[in-house]
Structure 1
Amino acid sequence: MTKLTNIMRKITAVLLMFISMQIHAQQETDSLSFDLEQYQKALDSINKTFTYQRGEVVLGDGLAILNVPEGFKFLDGEQSKRVLSDLWGNPPSEPIGLLFPEDMTPMHDDFTYAVEIEYAEEGYIEDDEAEDLDYDDLLEEMQEDAITGNPERTELGYPTIELVGWASPPYYDQENKKLHWAKELKFEDYDVNTLNYNIRVLGRKGYLNLNAIGDITMLDTFNKDRDNILQSVEFSPGNRYSDFNPDIDKVAAYGIGGLIAGKILAKVGFFAVILKFWKFIAIGAVAMFGGFRKKLFGGKKDA
């Protein structure tokens, strides 16, 4: 078992145990009281620790340029790692950053969605097959993969996944080398399905991965924002798809179809947990990072 798997198991166990405790606490409302004012102050205190960028942002040591869309703000990689791992309980990762709607914060009570930006240096992805792909066949393959992977997800402590279908079918912009699609996912015991919106920007040695996750009810909202997000990021000169040099550059082992059919990331499970139990997790994060002097829960059961 790999070190990352061990870490994921530990994080999962702690997160699920915390959720279980908070659900139990909620069910015992007659014996608990909560200082909402103190909670809100701590929440605001955490949110004020973040410094956002707007306008033009250089990504990944000159790898690409992000022109932060109007109505959005950008959180850099180091701060994003804190959000994703420390506050949201995801496995360790190396994000380039997070893109938030202007009115959204990592610890927002009515959290909608954020876009995680990563870079995968897996080689130049040949796109010759793009026009010939049968996305219905590809969907069936992905649905079978999701079912096949569920026993392992259960063993690691994640909820099982059913890939319901395309929330938005794959579309490849041949001219600009940008690919996007959305999946509708159903997680075990979740009442509302999850939206997983994927954007890939192809480059010389790999691709930028822009991944947005929210409830399926956010589809219309994200569709309104999608084009601005798609247009906001470009590889810098020397890193562009057109800069590929077959004599020295690596070619990826898969094409457009393989990129779309890539295994469902384990972290999607964590994002889904955030959406379902957001306030419980926020309470826990406040307790960890807010410096409370008082206990979050207090009081005694009435006689």
Structure 2
Amino acid sequence: MEGIYAIDSPSKELTMKTTSILLIALIFACSQAMAEQADAPLSWQAGPTDVTLSDQATLRLPEGYRFLGPEETQAVLKSMGNFPSGSELGLIAPAKDEDWFVVVRYVDAGYVKDDDAANWNADELFASIKEGTEDDNKRREAQGIPPLVLIGWEEKPHYDAQAHKVVWAISSQGSQSAGVNYNTLALGRHGYMSMNMVGDLRDLPQLKPHVQTLLTNLNFTEGKRYADFNSATDKVAAVGLAALIAGAAFKSGILAKLWALLIPLIIAGKKLLIFLVLVVGGLLAKWLKKKPAPVPAATPPSP
């Protein structure tokens, strides 16, 4: 026997060939199915328009932005390898060619108290997030997965007490490039709305204005606002604002959920992983560049 690639018998050789053929067929079938779904027209709403987010809030979508509804958003996320929780209300993408997207979610967590916002320490908050990431890295390294290294705050958490909205951005270094998760929370009477933007760290100066515009244009409807809270009847969330930030950092973002899909693929084989990552990356660009399906012209009545 010479090396690990030696074949002991014709039956083993036949088995390996059969397995290889089946694996190639499986990969081809998966990529074909994903490509067919990517080619299907998506029902984008183009700005300027008002988008209703469940029965909780309204988003004034400016010109230059597009919005995808909840069902199609969840279908797209599934095809990208994510596991939607059902809280997704939509996906926002630029109308022009830019490499970012935002997932909008509503979490019915209860009324989130913001009294700890005045006292939080950004360095301690980052240390808490980093500690949680290091614990995750131990599990990654045990399975041969490169660790996720946090770089730091790109924008420290800051809370607008009048609007009841918080913004923060944190960057990380992956094995190939640096990325950034821009996170925003808008607090309401019964829960919170989150808009998580995923993009490349190199594009950070271009991402910031988009985040501010979208957050400013997001408002809870009357009766659902933070100020409408009734302590006698409404549920209070189990965690405060600081804990919400620490728990949301990366763990609730798309990139973190993508890791859950990649772990078994890495274990199965790096070549398969690389292939699927390339497929998913190409489909994402394809989805973001899709135009709304054209509306057929009306047929004039016969004379």
For normalisation by structure 2, the TM-score amounts to: 0.70
Distance 1:284 1:207, change over 3 A: closer
Q: What is the percentage of aligned positions where both structures have the same residue?
A: 31
What is the match of residue 58 of structure 1?
52
What is the match of residue 281 of structure 1?
280
Tell me whether 1:93 sits opposite 2:93 in the alignment. no
1:121-132 matched pairs, under 5 angstroms: 121-132=108-119
Distance 1:196 1:158, change over 3 A: farther
For residues 262 and 156 of structure 1, the distance between their equivalents in structure 2, rounded to whole angstroms, comes to 24
What is the match of residue 300 of structure 1?
none
Spell out, residue by residue over 1:17-47, the C-alpha distance to the aligned partner (whole angstroms, 9 max, x if none): 99xx89xxxxxxxxxxxxxxxx9xx979935
1:49 to 37, 41, 61: 41
1:200 to 171, 181, 185: 185
SS at match of 2:183: strand
Question: How far did 1:193 drift?
Answer: 1.0
For residues 284 and 199 of structure 1, the distance between their equivalents in structure 2, rounded to whole angstroms, comes to 26
Distance 1:282 1:96, change over 3 A: same
Q: CA RMSD in A?
A: 3.2
Question: How far did 1:226 drift?
Answer: 2.0
For residues 135 and 156 of structure 1, the distance between their equivalents in structure 2, rounded to whole angstroms, comes to 32
Q: Is the 8 A contact 1:52 1:73 kept in 2?
A: yes
Tell me whether 1:79 sits opposite 2:72 in the alignment. yes
What is the match of residue 167 of structure 2?
180
Tell me whether 1:118 sits opposite 2:105 in the alignment. yes
Unaligned runs of 5+ in 1: 1-16, 23-38, 105-110, 287-303
Higher alpha-carbon Rg = 2
Q: Which amino acid aligns with 2:77?
A: L
For residues 146 and 50 of structure 1, the distance between their equivalents in structure 2, rounded to whole angstroms, comes to 35
Unaligned runs of 5+ in 2: 1-22, 263-272, 286-303
For residues 198 and 141 of structure 1, the distance between their equivalents in structure 2, rounded to whole angstroms, comes to 17
For residues 123 and 161 of structure 2, the distance between their equivalents in structure 1, rounded to whole angstroms, comes to 20
Question: How far did 1:278 drift?
Answer: 6.1
Question: How far did 1:271 drift?
Answer: 5.5
For residues 277 and 139 of structure 1, the distance between their equivalents in structure 2, rounded to whole angstroms, comes to 32
Tell me whether 1:102 sits opposite 2:102 in the alignment. no
What is the match of residue 224 of structure 1?
209
Q: Is the 8 A contact 2:35 2:283 kept in 1?
A: no
SS at match of 1:254: coil
Q: Which amino acid aligns with 2:69?
A: D
Question: How far did 1:249 drift?
Answer: 0.9
For normalisation by structure 1, the TM-score amounts to: 0.70
Tell me whether 1:265 sits opposite 2:251 in the alignment. yes
1:223-262 matched pairs, under 5 angstroms: 223-262=208-247
Moved more, 118-127 or 88-97: 88-97
Question: How far did 1:224 drift?
Answer: 2.1
For residues 284 and 223 of structure 1, the distance between their equivalents in structure 2, rounded to whole angstroms, comes to 25
